[in-house]
Each structure stands twice: as structure tokens, then as C-alpha cells.
């Protein structure tokens, strides 16, 4: 069994120099740098009160578009007591000022889903993919039940926990998150939006410039789980002169690739999932139970055992892994007022230039695009 430290060896830092702060809130001490993103840096740290390993996100106070305060707000809205609560979501130990930085302190996770894919030679088994898919839908249903969209579904933004939770998928990084339900209503449909998130996994509607909704998180999950099975996607690695042309080519390839061809050789639940999510109208309440059942039924029909014997454990499964509680359907905000259906056009407008949509007043956090 690999340690938590080993789990981060695949993300070496290009710069080992520490920032101008050694301790956070006199309780958390920086150790070594784990990586960086468009928000800033992630450091491994130690909780000086109990010697627990932690993760510390640092964002320069001079950042053009600060994100960490927003992320701490999201985490606190999910786990309001700043303690472990919602399964599969980190909790915030601390957010505040630290020298020339803002710091967000959270529990340290183990491997990301992308780490697992790479450890397994670039692909995951059908069994592991089905188990992961069920958990992904539980996490996204819970997030949506809080009125929040993720908007950047990709393997790096899902991580397994540590210790007894090395079989529990956690959803992380809410820098691009946005509320889909505000006040007493679903946000309105708008066209002409810039692409927010990661183009490889983004929904076709997002490529066409549609306002993002719950359906888009769900379709992006579908693209991601097919990536787990195949190790690549038909729209990866396309040559283009610039980002705009790249996005256009990715969109056209997604549109033109038959789902049966995309999922050839794999259980029918995978193309059916994408067929259902792509057919969702913008403000229609998704049937999360039906979508999750596709994968659960396929798992049972194949005779698999829920033993969490993931291939990246290489036969050395960690002891005392958590047994998943039975999932109970969640109430979505629009259930309380009756789900309102707003039909968006089947073909949206031409995808706009992939510029940052900083002028979008409804966006919480920043807008950041990634091709891969």
C-alpha cells in the first residue's frame, strides 16, 4: 500500500522555494510543495495540534481573480460545521490571511482519478469504472442538491481519500463553481457563453455557447468515464492553429462520433448514459437515480463483487476500507417549487471565442479554460 506521500510523487514541483510564510494561524506548518494551478499553489503541511498531514492552498493576495475565498464558502456550505460531514467532500479547517497569501487548509487526500489511470497503464477496468461512476453520480447529485454546479469535471478534480477512505471518491476544486439555483428559481438560459472548464470533457451544449446547468456536469462525467475505459478520446490531440480552432474541432468531433462507436466493446450502460444526459433540456431536473442505476445494474449483471479491489492497489488493498452507506435520493431545490422546464434549442449558436467570461455577473469565482 502506498503512503499519502507516495501518492503525490507523480506531481513534482518545478519550484521548491517556500513562500514567505511558514505557519498558518499558528496551527498549520508548511512542509513541501505538491503542485500548482490557476489559483496558486498546494502544499503539504502538518497540523501542529495533532500531527495530522494536511493540504494547504496558497493564493497570492495580488491575484487578479481571487478564488480561495469562494472555494472556502462552497466547502462551508457543504459541511457548515467545518468538520467532516458530507461523504466525498473535503472540509475546511481554516481560511484566512497568511503573510502575502490567502490560505485554505483542508485534509490531505491520496490519489486523483488521473493518478489511478496512469498507474494502471492509461486505462481502468470496466469493474473499477462502474464503481467509480456510481460514486461520481452520488457526489454530483449532492453538490447539485446544494444549488451548485461544479463546471470543471476532469479526473484531476476527483480524489480518493486517505486511510480508511482510500476507496471513497471526493470531489474537489470549486474555483469555477456557480449556483444554478438562486433565490427561488433556476437560473435563466442564456446563449453566447464562453467555454468554462476543460474542453476535453465539456458537454456539447457548452461548446455551442450554452449557459451551463446540471445536465452539463452530468454529460462531462460521461465523457470522463469513457476516457477511463479507452485511455483516450477521439477528440484528444487534435491539431489546431489556436485555441478557438481547437475548441471548434473538439466540438465537431464530439458531435460526429456515434455513441456506439465511442463506447464500442463496453457495456451498453455507457452509451445509454451519454444518450440520456445529452438529451436533457437546460432546466429539467435530472433523474439521478435512473442514471446511477444504469451502472449499478451493469455491475450486478456482470457478477462483480463490491470489494474495492481496485487495480492500482496491485493486490495490496488497504485494510479496513469504509463500507459505503446506502444511498438515499436527495431533494433538489426545484423539487420544492415544482421543476420548471425551460427548453433550450437543440442546436445552440456558434461557439464563441474561448475568452474568459469575466463579465458574466452570475459567475461565482473565476473563469478558466483548459484544452486537456
Question: What are the catalytic residues?
Answer: 152
Cβ-based neighbour number of residue 270 at 10 Å: 24
DSSP state of 107: E
Task: For residue 284, give the 3-state DSSP assignment.
Answer: coil
Whole-number Cα distances in Å, 25 to 29, 31, 94, 96: 9, 15, 8, 8
Report strand pairing: 178-179 vs 148-149. antiparallel
CA–CA separation, 330 vs 146, rounded Å?
Answer: 10
Report in angstroms the alpha-carbon separations of 364 from 73, 176, 274: 11, 7, 27
Give CA–CA dist 1/23, Å, rounded: 30
Is residue 194 within 8 Å of 369, Cβ to Cβ? yes
Phi, psi for 182 (deg, rounded to 5): -125, 135
What is the distance between the alpha carbons of residues 212 and 336, in angstroms, rounded to a whole number?
Answer: 22
Give the separation between CA 277 and CA 284, rounded to whole angstroms.
11
DSSP 286-311: P-HHHHHHHHHHHHHHTT-------G
Can you give the C-alpha Rg of the chain in angstroms?
20
Q: Where are the beta strands (DSSP E) in 188-230?
A: 197-198
The answer to whether 154 and 200 have CB atoms below 8 angstroms apart is: yes
Q: What is the spatial distance between Cα 187 and Cα 185, in angstroms, rounded to a whole number?
A: 6
- Separation CA 136–CA 153 (nearest Å): 10
Amino acid at each position: 500500500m502506498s503512503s499519502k506521500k507516495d501518492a503525490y510523487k507523480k506531481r513534482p514541483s518545478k519550484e521548491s522555494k517556500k513562500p514567505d510564510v511558514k505557519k498558518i494561524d499558528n496551527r498549520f506548518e508548511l512542509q513541501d510543495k505538491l503542485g500548482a494551478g490557476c489559483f496558486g499553489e498546494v502544499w503539504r503541511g502538518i497540523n501542529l495540534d495533532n500531527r495530522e498531514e494536511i493540504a494547504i492552498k496558497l493564493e497570492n493576495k495580488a491575484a487578479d481573480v481571487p478564488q480561495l475565498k469562494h472555494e472556502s464558502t462552497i466547502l462551508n456550505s457543504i459541511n457548515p460545521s467545518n468538520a467532516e460531514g458530507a461523504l466525498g467532500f473535503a472540509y475546511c479547517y481554516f481560511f484566512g490571511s497568511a503573510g502575502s497569501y490567502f490560505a485554505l487548509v483542508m485534509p490531505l487526500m491520496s490519489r486523483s482519478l488521473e493518478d489511478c489511470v496512469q498507474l494502471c497503464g492509461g486505462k481502468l477496468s470496466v469493474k473499477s469504472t462502474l464503481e467509480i461512476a456510481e460514486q461520481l453520480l452520488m457526489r454530483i447529485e449532492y453538490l447539485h442538491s446544494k444549488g451548485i454546479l461544479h463546471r470543471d469535471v476532469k479526473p484531476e478534480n476527483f480524489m480518493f481519500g486517505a486511510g480508511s477512505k482510500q476507496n471513497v471518491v471526493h470531489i474537489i476544486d470549486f474555483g469555477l463553481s456557480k449556483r444554478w439555483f438562486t433565490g427561488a428559481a433556476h437560473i435563466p438560459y442564456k446563449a453566447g457563453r464562453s467555454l468554462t472548464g476543460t474542453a476535453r470533457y465539456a458537454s456539447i451544449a457548452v461548446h455551442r455557447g450554452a449557459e451551463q446547468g446540471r445536465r452539463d456536469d452530468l454529460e462531462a462525467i460521461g465523457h470522463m468515464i469513457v476516457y477511463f475505459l479507452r485511455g483516450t478520446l477521439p477528440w484528444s490531440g487534435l491539431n489546431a492553429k489556436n485555441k478557438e480552432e481547437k475548441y471548434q474541432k473538439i466540438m465537431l468531433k464530439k458531435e460526429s462520433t456515434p455513441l456506439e462507436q465511442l463506447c464500442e466493446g463496453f457495456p451498453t450502460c455507457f452509451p445509454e448514459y451519454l444518450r440520456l444526459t445529452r438529451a436533457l433540456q437546460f432546466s429539467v431536473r435530472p433523474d439521478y437515480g435512473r442514471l446511477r442505476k444504469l451502472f449499478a445494474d451493469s455491475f450486478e449483471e456482470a457478477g462483480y463483487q463490491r470489494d474495492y479491489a481496485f487495480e492500482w492497489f496491485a493486490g495490496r488493498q488497504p485494510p479496513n476500507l469504509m463500507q459505503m452507506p446506502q444511498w438515499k435520493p436527495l431533494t433538489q431545490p426545484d423539487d420544492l417549487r415544482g421543476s420548471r422546464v425551460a427548453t433550450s434549442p437543440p442546436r445552440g449558436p456558434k461557439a464563441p471565442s474561448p475568452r474568459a467570461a469575466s463579465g458574466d455577473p452570475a459567475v461565482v469565482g473565476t473563469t478558466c479554460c483548459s484544452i486537456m
